[in-house]
Amino acid sequence: MWYTYKKGKYDFGSEQKGQVNLYHETDYLDLFFMIDNSVVPLLNDFYQLTGHPVLLPKFAFYQGHLNAYNRDYWKEDSAGILFEDEKNIKKVRKIMAVSKNH
């Protein structure tokens, strides 16, 4: 992993089999080598350096939350916006009942 925004070239054996060539247009050397036999240890090395990616907790993927914030709907109303079909439509927000026990 090279720490630069400069142009570079990575060749993993396409020009000469078995030879890796790495190059960046910098006048300094600031890079990390992570070498492992498989993907999982390689990713673990990377995460040790950068930290684990941010993921939502498992309960956040629960299907019941998919429509939690989409409670608006549209209905005909004379005070609404006039659309091309000659109908006046108004956006209505459904008010959810809240229990006083919570």
List pLDDT tens digits, range 31-90.
888 899 999 999 999 999 888 888 877 766 666 655 566 667 788 999 888 988 889 988
Q: Are residues 63 and 32 in the same domain?
A: no
Q: Are residues 42 and 67 in the same domain?
A: no
Q: Are residues 15 and 44 in the same domain?
A: yes
pLDDT digits (tens, 9 = 90+) for 18-33: 998 988 999 988 888 8
Per-residue model confidence (pLDDT) at position 69: 63
> How many structural domains compose the chain?
2
User: Looking at the domain assignment, is residue 101 inside a domain?
Assistant: no
Give the residue numbers spanning the domain of 65.
58-93
**Residue-by-residue DSSP string for 42-80:** HHHHHHHHH-PPP---GGGG-GGGTTTT--EEEEEEEEE
User: Looking at the domain assignment, is residue 99 inside a domain?
Assistant: no
Say what the pTM is.
0.39
User: Looking at the domain assignment, is residue 81 inside a domain?
Assistant: yes
Residue type, 34: M
Q: Are residues 62 and 44 in the same domain?
A: no
